[in-house]
Every structure is written in structure tokens, then in C-alpha cells.
Copies of this chain bind each other. A is one copy, B any other.
């Protein structure tokens, strides 16, 4: 079993700009293992696949579309997690999905008053390092290039680690998190015993008397959620207007191409935190029951947010788009007619008289998988896409995209999980052709044909999910068992056993 525990401390704390990729990725050309600047967005596959150059070529073949999984024993993932992937049927040169699976050690910041950069060998000096581990699985579905997905798969867990470092003591202390940390202490190095609620509550007689004396309870869980949210925000590929020049320098130096959806599952202190920004999807299958652990962020699901922004910032529309939605494009000859529309406040539809402005292209247009924002992009959250513009225009898409994930929490301790209970993460290549119920059926069908303690069984599930969604190559393309079209997209799947923490580490 490959338990790649990593002390992420040194990798990030010395400054993001100078950091190498977390791990050499894939075995192919261009994915150099050097410790210098990362190569710009070369084709690579997840390191845990340990592909040889020959295997990498096979993985990159659109014709064969061979399913890739970790090797039997050497490449086994934490908790015997299952993983499988397959390249698209030709829609892009390479597989633009990326995956990452790590066990990360979050070390408390070592120096209360000194520099944030760790001293060389500081870990060795600390006899008992203070910190905790989290398990991490993530899928990144790239578009318009693989740069953002590769970068995100190398970095997101490190950013999460960095955010959590501030919370090492707080999360391990059962008392409520302090609302205010002491003045002269660097965040995270605070000694909670020194943090007095009473002191912070006390109002100096000269202070303006506040109108309320309330104090909101903040849970440990919501601190982890906040840490994950901020980790996404601080990714080089996330920030729209980076306040941190270092981040901006890194972005420029890496020539990040394209963007990516990000779906990450973090296991920490008995709870799963599933963070999603984009149209990948996670579900838990527990005793045959389906529990959605994410929702998709698309022009349709985020219509009202996008229309609201467009209404308040019409200059972002470049005089080419209208914030109103119409069921189809309005023709100039329809000026003055009454046509169905809806605005940022409406869920229903009503008729309005068409004016000149309504002839512009609608900000949100199309339905289902064909829904697009600004006629360009079908996902509205994720990382990257800084340079994405509306076709043959100078209108930027990025201001409408959000890098923030929705984080859902699942408490693993609230239920006695059996070996057949799993968390499935999949990119949209899976879900486009295989729905929740079908995925659950495959999970149960495959798992029952393997012994509960067989460490390969979750990989077998992942492979079967990928194969069933890809289909088989026939004369009329890739076809499913029911002869419908298989997914021509990249497909990546994690199958994570929920009985994991006790039985599979």
C-alpha cells in the first residue's frame, strides 16, 4: 500500500512562488521530476498510477480508450480506495481530467513570533510534532487546456493544509473556538489557554457601546469548512484580482492554460468534507440508499446569481449580452412582440414586449448539457479560465465564475458503516450517461462478487463504472449496453469505502 504521507509544511510555507509540483506526475516525457519550476502543462497522469512511458502512450490513445487504475499492490491507495479513468473519444488531444489522492500531515506553525518560513530541519528539532493528518481525494475536470487541472491537482491539498495549520490547536481542543486570537501572536501559534473569552468580551468604558451583546456560536466543523473555502480562494488559479503579488507572479510564470472543475473529499477527525466547484458530482451509497454530497454549478443552476451580477455590473456584458433569459434567441423582426422571459428574481416565466436591448444575446442560454453562459462555458464554478473570453470579442468570462466550492459535511461517526458503503466521486463524463441509481446498482453488484476484505474490490467498482459509462467501440461509435451513446468525455472515478478509517488505513 502506498501511503504517501507528506509534511506539507515546508512545501508551502516558504512561499508559493518557488514551489515545485508536489510529485512528479506520470512517467511520460515532459513531466520532469526536477525541483525547479514546474513544466508548463505537459500531458501527465496522476502519479499514483505509476505509468511507464509505454503505459502512458496507451492511456493517451483515443481509439483504444484503455481504462487506467492503480497497480495491484504497489500502487494501492489509502483505505484501498478504488480509482479508474479513461481518456475522451477525441474531443481534446489529451485526457484533461486530473486526480489526486494524498494523506497530508498538518503541522502546527513552529514559530510564534518569528518568520512564517520554517527553519531548515525544524521538524527534526521538534521532538513531538504537533499536528494531525487528513485524507484527501480530488478530481479536476479541465477544459480548454490542462494547465489549471494539473496545477490544481498538485496544489489544492497543500493550500488546504496551509489553511488548516492555523487551526491545529483549536480543532484539537474540545472547547468552542475562540472568536478572537490574541493580538501579538501569529495566527495558529496561539496558545488557546492564553485566549480568554472574558477578556475579549470586556468592553473598555471608553468604547462605543455596541447595540447588541450577542455572540454567535461557531463550530469546529465550520472552521474546517471555512479553511477549505479559503484554500480554493487562495489557489493561484482562483483569484480574479489577486491581492497577493506572489500568486499573480506564479500564475503568469506558469502560463496556466484553461480552467477546471474541482471536486475534493477531505476526511478529517471523523468527518468527510466534500467540496465541489463545477459539474463533477459526489454521492454516498449507504446500505443501498443514495445521499447526494454535492450539487452541480452550471449556467442553469446559477442563473439567478449570474443575472443578478450582470444587472448590477452591466459593463461586464460588453454591450453584447442581456441579463434577461429568453427561451430562444429573439429575432429582430420580433421587436414589439410579446415574448416569454425571466429575470434575476423570477423562477417562473412571463411575457414582455421586446425592445431593442432584448435582441442582444442572453447571458444564459440553452438547456441541460447545452446550457452556456455568454455562449461560451457550461460550468460556472472552478479554477482558472483567467484568459477566457467570449469568441471573437474582448469580453472576459472570469468575473462571472466563482472559485468557491459548496462544502457538504458527512459525519462518519453517526452511523455504523459496512464494507459496502462507499463515497463515489466522478467527473461529468460518468454522470452524463450513468445516473445515481445506476451507479448505486453497479456498486452493489460488483461489491457482492468480491470478499468484503478483498482490497481490490473498490478498484473493480471504479473500473466497472468507467467501462459502463464509456461503452464499447462499435461501428457507430462508443455504445452502452442499451445501444445508447457512451460518454465521449474523459471519465474519472474514485470509490472510497466509508468503513475505511478503522479497517483500511
Q: Which residues of A contact B (CB under 8 A)?
A: 163, 166, 177, 179-183, 187, 190, 200, 203-204, 207-208, 210-218, 222-230, 233, 305, 308-309, 312-313, 326-329, 331-334, 336-340, 342, 345-351, 361, 365-367, 370, 372, 375, 402, 404, 406-407
Give Cα A298 to B166, complex, Å: 32
Using CB atoms, name the residue of chain B closest to A206.
B332
Q: Choose from B180, B210, B333, B407 the contact partner of A334 (Cβ within 8 Å).
A: B180
Give Cα A432 to B340, complex, Å: 40
Measured CB to CB, the closest approach of chain B to A166, in angstroms, equals 6
**Contact status A351-B216, CB under 8 Å:** no
Give Cα A187 to B372, complex, Å: 30
Q: Choose from B223, B334, B340, B372 the contact partner of A218 (Cβ within 8 Å).
A: B340
**Contact status B334-A214, CB under 8 Å:** no
Contacts of A326 in B (CB 8 A): 179
Give Cα A207 to B212, complex, Å: 61
Contacts of A329 in B (CB 8 A): 210-212
Q: Give the residue among A180, A366, A370 with the most B Cβ atoms within 10 A.
A: A180
Give Cα A406 to B230, complex, Å: 31
**Contact status A348-B180, CB under 8 Å:** no
Q: Give the residue among A179, A181, A208 with the most B Cβ atoms within 10 A.
A: A179
Contacts of A349 in B (CB 8 A): 177, 218, 222-223, 225-226
**Contact status B212-A366, CB under 8 Å:** yes
Contacts of A339 in B (CB 8 A): 179-181
> Could you say how many copies of this chain the assembly holds?
2
Q: Give the residue among A327, A361, A365, A370 with the most B Cβ atoms within 10 A.
A: A327
Using CB atoms, name the residue of chain B closest to A332.
B207
**Contact status A331-B207, CB under 8 Å:** yes
Measured CB to CB, the closest approach of chain B to A363, in angstroms, equals 13
Q: Choose from B227, B333, B345 the contact partner of A204 (Cβ within 8 Å).
A: B333
Using CB atoms, name the residue of chain B closest to A311.
B312
Give Cα A217 to B305, complex, Å: 22
Measured CB to CB, the closest approach of chain B to A474, in angstroms, equals 29
Sampled A-B contacts (6; CB under 8 Å): A212-B328, A214-B367, A226-B346, A226-B350, A227-B350, A229-B350
Q: Choose from B204, B223, B224, B333 the contact partner of A207 (Cβ within 8 Å).
A: B333
Contacts of A345 in B (CB 8 A): 229, 233, 402, 404
**Contact status B227-A370, CB under 8 Å:** no
Using CB atoms, name the residue of chain B closest to A347.
B225
Give Cα A2 to B177, complex, Å: 59
Extra contacts besides A207-B331, A212-B372, A214-B367 (12): CB < 8 Å: A179-B339, A211-B361, A211-B375, A212-B375, A214-B328, A217-B367, A225-B349, A226-B342, A226-B349, A229-B345, A233-B345, A347-B407
**Contact status B229-A348, CB under 8 Å:** yes
Measured CB to CB, the closest approach of chain B to A327, in angstroms, equals 4
Contacts of A342 in B (CB 8 A): 226
Contacts of A222 in B (CB 8 A): 347-349
**Contact status A328-B216, CB under 8 Å:** yes
**Contact status B233-A348, CB under 8 Å:** no
Q: Choose from B190, B308, B348, B407 the contact partner of A228 (Cβ within 8 Å).
A: B348
Q: Choose from B190, B308, B367, B375 the contact partner of A308 (Cβ within 8 Å).
A: B308
**Contact status A216-B367, CB under 8 Å:** yes
Measured CB to CB, the closest approach of chain B to A173, in angstroms, equals 15
Give Cα A229 to B213, complex, Å: 38
Q: Which 7 A-B pairs have the closest CB atoms?
A: A225-B348, A226-B348, A210-B329, A226-B350, A216-B327, A181-B338, A345-B404
**Contact status B215-A327, CB under 8 Å:** yes
**Contact status A204-B331, CB under 8 Å:** yes
Asked if A179 meets B348 with Cβ closer than 8 Å, knowing A187-B338, A212-B366, A333-B204, the reply is: no
**Contact status B340-A177, CB under 8 Å:** yes
**Contact status A351-B200, CB under 8 Å:** no
Give Cα A407 to B342, complex, Å: 14
**Contact status B179-A347, CB under 8 Å:** no
**Contact status A179-B223, CB under 8 Å:** no
Using CB atoms, name the residue of chain B closest to A208.
B332
Give Cα A222 to B340, complex, Å: 11
Q: Choose from B225, B346, B351 the contact partner of A229 (Cβ within 8 Å).
A: B346
Contacts of A227 in B (CB 8 A): 348, 350
Asked if A214 meets B365 with Cβ closer than 8 Å, knowing A179-B327, A337-B181, A350-B227, the reply is: yes
Give Cα A204 to B190, complex, Å: 70
Measured CB to CB, the closest approach of chain B to A301, in angstroms, equals 15
Contacts of A361 in B (CB 8 A): 210-211
Measured CB to CB, the closest approach of chain B to A461, in angstroms, equals 31
Q: Choose from B183, B203, B372, B404 the contact partner of A336 (Cβ within 8 Å).
A: B183
